[in-house]
Amino acid sequence: MDLPLITLVCASILTFFILKLLYNQTQNSTNLPPGPRPFPIIGNILELGRNPHIALTKLSKIYGPIMTLKLGTITTIVISSPQLAKQVLQEHGQIFSSRTIPHSAQVSDNHKISIGWLPTNAKWRKLRKVCATKVFSPQVLDSTKVLRQQKLKELLDFVKEKSSKGEPLDLGEAIFSTVLNSISNTFFSMDLSHSTSDEKSREFKSIIEGSMEDAGKPNIADFFPILRPIDPQGVHARMTNYFVKLANIVDGIIEERMCSIASRADSKVSNDVLDSILSEIEETSSQLSHREIMLLFLDLFVAGIDTTSSTVEWAMAELLRNPNKLAKAKEELCEVVGEDAPLEESHISKLPYLQAVVKETFRLHPPAPFLLPHKCDEVVNISGFQVPKDAQVFVNVWAMGRDPTIWENPNMFEPERFLKCEINFKGNNFELIPFGAGKRICPGLPLAHRSVHLMVAFLLHNFEWKLADGLTPENMNMVEHFGLTLKKMQPLRVQAISVKDN
């Protein structure tokens, strides 16, 4: 066969496959959910802007509650209604139970043993069982509540000192440090910050906020995986640095405790989560490895601190912005708890308006606006559209919280709306799923539920609050800073006035 003929045959075969590929793409695209027309190569990347949760909410009003975006080489489906979220997270929960794994999560191959990124395999089920029985069970959380109460007492002392000096404080910073020590005591019976606003606390805050920001921001290496080896935005390098710093701390704590148990040099029982897990391993010969324990604590630690502290800060900001709501919450606390009685976790169930305040905060300011990304494991029909295999799926809970077809006056902070209905945020009511729902619901929800309610109630019960620096409720800056969690862009600076001498 001569060269011209070979060339003609090869060209014909190549042309056939190109035409077939184009035909298949056309056929598939007609069944995809609608969405903005993608640009060549980059697709819809430019549509994301600096605040993707807001940009995609605006686009959903044009293209509907199920929408397709082409982000570089990645097909992304955006869900923006409770009905479709229920189909994805519950009715087809197994098909959508996997994750698309961003480059930022692939530090040291952590995604292969991380409860947040693993598929729902045997290893994942083992870690979920540990969370349910040894980390976040009612018995474990009840046994560590004294530790959390002590951290609140330290916050009280810090704020009272500021109040007595007439000094304003950064409330978000004080909340972060308290949550940091509260969770570190629940897990490890120790403080990781030695005062409510010391340098070590600020360093932890910087590391955790930096890691959550990098984990959530659009990354060109995710849109074009071929670029991952060169890490063009430096996200992977920064995440590696964050991970090494935090892992060294957590690994050191675990190693010290394991050595203590092995040598029997210290017979003291800490009665914390770490003891609970290590005892389980010793008693049952569990196959949980040292690295799995370390990464599990690291995942839960970082996520728990960031989401809890940001939610409490948003709740306080909304209450200070709405003084009449703040007054109602304080009045309820006075009636239920009393002016001089100490606040306990057991009071939470008797405070319906406080619970409504927390629900309203989660509605307006969900910690993770898209949850963690899901991945479609097989072609499936959702609302008459075809979701292709391996598509990335975002559930825009921020959009659902601001949807006027679901909520009356959706941009207003109105806790009263939750006094008229039985909606909760535990994954049963898809109008409000800040922790997700179905198989991948956040395992830390039980601790977050206790911590957020208790800290908001504690701050309201012990102090009168006013905005510092001449700020008024009308001109408060409520702009969000986008990341894996939504932060308040401007720090919440306040002046506290103590209402009791305990």
Whole-angstrom Cα distance, residue 395 to residue 208?
Answer: 24
Least confident interval from 43-47, 172-176, 188-192, 330-334: 188-192
- Is the pLDDT assigned to residue 165 strictly greater than 70? yes
The two tokens of residue 375 are: 């991945």
Give residue-wise pLDDT tens across range 91-126. 999 999 999 999 999 998 889 999 999 999 999 999
Q: Which amino acid is at 313?
A: E
Helix ranges (H only) for 101-198 are: 122-130, 138-143, 145-164, 171-188
Closest residue by Cα to residue 294 from 188, 183, 142: 188
The CB density around residue 453, as the number of other CB atoms within 10 Å, is: 21
| DSSP annotation string for 341-403 | SPP-GGGGGG-HHHHHHHHHHHHHS-SSTT-SPEE-SS-EEETTEEEPTT-EEEE-HHHHHT-
- Is the pLDDT assigned to residue 336 strictly greater than 80? yes
Most confident of 182-186, 361-365, 494-498: 361-365
Residue 475 burial class via C-beta count within 10 angstroms: exposed 0-12, middle 13-18, buried 19 and up? exposed
Whole-angstrom Cα distance, residue 303 to residue 99?
Answer: 17
pLDDT at 43: 96
Structural domain boundaries of the chain? 1-31, 44-498
Q: CB-based contacts of 180: which residues, under 8 Å, 6+ apart?
A: 192, 193, 201, 204, 205, 305, 309
Helix 171-188 with 199-216: angle, nearest 10 deg = 90
- Is the pLDDT assigned to residue 455 strictly greater than 90? yes
Q: What percent of the chain has pLDDT over 70?
A: 89
Instruction: Render the burial of 29-47: b for 16+ CB within 10 Å, e for the rest.
Output: eeebbebbebeeeebbbeb
Q: Give me the chain's average pLDDT, please.
A: 88
Overall average pLDDT of the 27-42 stretch: 84
Element (H or E) spanning 488, and its range? Answer: strand 487-488
Determine the distance from the C-alpha atom of residue 191 to the mean position of all C-alpha atoms in its chain, rounded to a whole number: 23
Least confident interval from 55-64, 405-414, 419-428: 419-428
Q: CB-based contacts of 131: which residues, under 8 Å, 6+ apart?
A: 115, 296, 300, 443, 444
Could you tell me where the beta strands, DSSP code E, fall in 56-118?
66-71, 74-79, 98-99
Q: List for the chain the helix, strand, coil content (%; round to 5).
A: 60, 10, 35
Whole-angstrom Cα distance, residue 434 to residue 324?
Answer: 26
pLDDT at 9: 35
User: Homologous superfamily of 44-498 in CATH?
Assistant: Cytochrome P450 (1.10.630.10)
Supply the DSSP symbol for 444: T
Query: Rounded to the nearest 10 degrees, how much is the dihedral formed by the CA atoms of 186, 191, 192, 197?
Result: 120
Closest residue by Cα to residue 253 from 299, 194, 298: 298
Whole-angstrom Cα distance, residue 78 to residue 65?
Answer: 8
